[in-house]
Chains A and B, each alone.
Chain A
Amino acid sequence: MTTTQSTATPTTQKLGIATAIAVSFLVLSGLIFSAEDVVQGSTVRMMYVHVPSIWVAYLAFGLTALCSAVYVSNRSRSLIWDRFAGASAEIGVLFVAISLVTGSLWGRLTWGTFWVWDARLTSTAFLFITYIGYLAVRRLGGTFTQRARRSAIMALLAVLEIPLVHFSVNLWRTLHQKASIADPNAKVQLDGFMLFTLFWGLVSFSMLFAWLLIHRQRLMALEDAVQDQGLDRAIQERRTEAGR
């Protein structure tokens, strides 16, 4: 291994540059090019971060569950699935937090309150706490396989909350508005350029997620490898104990 090794490869570098460009354009589009809302005024711009954030969180937790399921059902029990699950959940927690913060700021300006206990907000808060617990379980110690087994079970349980969070606005009356794009009536509720900006937000945040995920996963693999390398050395050391 060389000392200059990093978690980047030419592909991820290209992805990183593309992500940077996409996010920059989102900033311009969201803050300058797009118009104010007729009721909310400029606070509508919060949506271009809020919605993509929770989208990335759903994506991340879904991926966590998927990787955990593969880990559990796969005979080989390859730890790469566990690392992807863990990396994905970390990013997901970050983006739920972003979504909660932007949402409550928007709520203060529009609803007149930072927080209400309606079905959507309450279930999102549960989701957030559950995955913080998931990350805590990953740090519980023990062997890699023990970590993988415990956290996989938790991930498969926790992902059940996502449909509840997403459909809470359709199942119940909430202060939170219903989905504007993924509306069951299939009628888009946004004016043209707003819709484009939101869509661009989803794309660029997804790219950001992919970029973060690849790097975080590689970092975790390296951490595990360091421990494994340590194991080789430790085995050698352990064997020499016998001579003494």
Chain B
Amino acid sequence: MTSRMQTVRRVSLAVVRKDLRIEWSSKVLLNQVAPFSLVIMIMFAFALDNEGILQRVAPGLVWLATLFSMLVIVQRSFAVETADGALDALRVAGTEPLGIFIGKSLALMVQLLALELMLLAIALVLYAVEPTAMGYAETFATMLIATIGLGFVGTLYGGLGAGARGRETLLPLLLLPAVAPVLIGATRATEAAFGSGGAQSSEGWPWIGLLAVFAGVFGAVGALAFGPMIEE
């Protein structure tokens, strides 16, 4: 049992380091995904340029932009695996799909978190939102826990379509309904944190609880199902 845990640890560490290194050297997140999400935020600002509306919907926009960007990151995360047959080699080498799952999830979480912090900053500036100190604490808690859930679910569904034809179009169809609870929960928690539309910050914590439950479910399901999902 311990030796299996060691293998999982080793493989997941190797995978997360590898994925982040790839990102560090290719800078796709910085050069493509971040500008993409920035464009989403600005387009919304144009479309909804109406006193009050932007402040009220700002939390939802931050999370919508995060989810759309996540589709791109997940797509990319598995494209590097299938480009030169690395996923095959990984299946042969890892022997422990749990390690691959954890590693890729962690890498996805780190990237998402960086993106969310950027989007938060944009929302504060662009949409003129002013949270309190308590609001900030709540916002960061929301981000952290929502991101854990998103990392697991993104990796699970990304692996499901990896290598299959037509997965580019399938991924949004599968992933967006699955992350709907995160969109709702994180948006409502952030609304509470921002005080949008008269919401109080105490209203946010149950939603954060829901996000934690989501993360738990998909973490465990992913641990069970990721291996079979990437098999032929």
Question: How far does the alpha carbon of A142 sit from the alpha carbon of B164 in the complex, in Å?
Answer: 8
Determine whether the beta carbon of A130 is less than 8 Å from that of B177. yes
Q: Given A137-B160, A153-B225, are A142 and B232 also a contact pair (CB < 8 Å)?
A: yes
- The closest CB in chain A to the CB of B177 belongs to A129
Contact A137 B231, CB 8 Å, known A150-B160, A153-B225, A157-B221: no
Size of interface on B: residues with Cβ below 8 Å to A: 18
B167 — nearest CB in chain A belongs to which residue?
A: A140
**B144 → chain A, closest Cβ, in Å?**
24
Q: Which one of B166, B174, B178, B231 lies within 8 Å of A149 (CB-CB)?
A: B231
Q: A137 and B174: CB pair below 8 A?
A: yes
Does B180 count as interface, using CB distance less than 8 angstroms? Answer: yes
B79 close to A (CB within 8 Å): no
Residues of B within 8 A of A157 (CB): 221
Q: Say whether, besides A133-B173, A133-B174, A133-B177, A141 and B225 are in contact (CB < 8 Å).
A: no
Contact partners of B177 in chain A: CB under 8 A: 126, 129-130, 133
Q: Establish whether residues B164 and A149, one from each chain, have CB atoms under 8 Å apart when the complex forms.
A: no
Chain A residues whose CB sits within 8 angstroms of the CB of B170 once the complex forms: 136-137, 140
A2 contacts chain B at the CB level, 8 A cutoff: no
**Inter-chain contact A140/B164, CB cutoff 8 Å:** yes
For B212-224 the 0/1 string (1 means CB < 8 A from A) is 0000000001000
Question: Which residue on chain A has the smallest CB distance to residue B163?
Answer: A142
Give complex CA distance A221, B180 in Å.
35
Interface centre among B161, B177, B221 (most CB of A within 10 A): B177
With a CB–CB cut-off of 8 A, which chain B residues contact A141? 164-166
Report how far A88 CA is from B7 CA in the complex, Å: 40
Give the complex CA separation of A57 and B177 in angstroms.
18
How many Å lie between the Cα of A137 and that of B167 in the bound state?
Answer: 10
B72 sits at the interface (CB 8 A): no
| Distance in angstroms between the alpha carbons of A26 and B117 in the assembled complex | 58
User: Which residues on the A side are within 8 Å of B174 (C-beta)?
Assistant: 133, 136-137
Interface flags, A156-169, vs B, CB<8A=1, else 0: 01000000000000
> Interface of B with A (CB < 8 Å)?
160-161, 164-167, 170, 173-174, 177-178, 180, 221, 225, 228-229, 231-232
Given contacts A133-B174, A137-B174, A150-B229, could you give 7 more A-B pairs where the C-beta distance is less than 8 Å? A126-B177, A133-B173, A133-B178, A137-B170, A140-B161, A141-B164, A142-B164
Interface residues of A (CB under 8 A from B): 126, 129-130, 132-133, 136-137, 140-143, 146, 149-150, 153, 157
**Among all A-B residue pairs, the 6 with the closest Cβ atoms:** A129-B177, A153-B225, A133-B174, A140-B164, A149-B228, A130-B177
